[in-house]
Amino acid sequence: MHKLIFAFLLAAMPGTALAQAAYCSAPSQPARPEPELPSDKEPKRALPIGSYTLAISWSPQFCATAKGPKNSVQCGGRNGKFGFTLHGLWPDGYGKEWPQYCRATDIVPRAVIRQNMCATPSAQLIQHEWAKHGTCMATKPELYFNLSRAFYESLRYPDMTTLSRRKNLTAGQFAEAFARANKGMKANMMRVTTTRDNMLSEVWLCMDRQLEFARCPAHQGGAADSAYVKIAPGPNILNPRRPVPPPANPTKRPGLILDLDPNTQPLGNSAG
């Protein structure tokens, strides 16, 4: 297994927002999700991994149209006010197809769901990400989500309040601002996705096989650099007042598979 390069080593960068939410209080008893299974439309594909995508969503835009109790944790205001949330860490293939639903899976344990609700405030989305993407990368959901969350928590953000007030903001200008907030990142390492009325929806950060941010492939899409982007106003996310302790040195964890091949066997049963 190749050496893991963790993006959370960027955590010491000063001057940019650390928190992804103005506040978050995970529910003590998260909802039990429904199973997520492959289908004729979304079949099982056990393909080798060629690269990765870290997808984050702009929660204020999602909540502007989301309705119903299933979105209450993210959008109700009782459990948190969110900026960017973690959609997921996705394994990509070598072409336009990607591995998905690689192994049969049970419901994600409630403790794992609760641990990740402040990053991905939807029990059903957590179940979906594990079933569709995580099973192609790891043997246990906690391994997959620990890795996804580490990259998500390493990200820094531009001043979204100021950007939301800018007129004639383009996707390229937004990508440049996002890249400047993250050491070593470039605008061509991300895809900015928008709704039909040009509202910011998600940012897809491209990564190579070594989990380093890398230039995105042309086929991955996203808004053109020249396209105008509007940003729904979000919570005021401030810099942390207390220093953040450095993360523990990353180690190779038995059971973590980052290069799935149809013949790959799990590397032990330890949760790491």
Question: Is the pLDDT higher at 171 or at 17?
Answer: 171
pTM of the model: 0.84
**Nearest to 87, CA basis, from 106, 74, 96:** 74
Residue 201 identity: S
Distance, in Å, from the CA atom of 259 to the CA atom of 99, rounded to the nearest integer, reads 11
Q: What is the pLDDT of residues 154-191, one digit of tens each?
A: 999 999 999 999 999 999 999 999 999 999 999 999 99
241 falls in which pLDDT band (50, 70, 90)? very low
Helix (H, G, I), strand (E, B) or coil at 203: strand
List strand residue ranges (DSSP E) for the chain, in order.
Answer: 21-24, 51-58, 80-82, 84-92, 190-194, 200-207
Q: What is the pLDDT of residues 119-155, one digit of tens each?
A: 999 999 999 999 999 999 999 999 999 999 999 999 9
238 falls in which pLDDT band (50, 70, 90)? low
- In this predicted structure, what is the pLDDT of residue 243? 40
| Residue 60: count of CB within 10 angstroms of its CB | 21
Express as a percent the part of the chain with pLDDT over 90. 72
Distance, in Å, from the CA atom of 124 to the CA atom of 109, rounded to the nearest integer, reads 12
- In this predicted structure, what is the pLDDT of residue 256? 53
Max avg pLDDT among 69-83, 163-177, 245-259? 163-177
Average pLDDT over residues 246-270: 43
Give helix then strand counts, H and E, for the chain.
7, 6
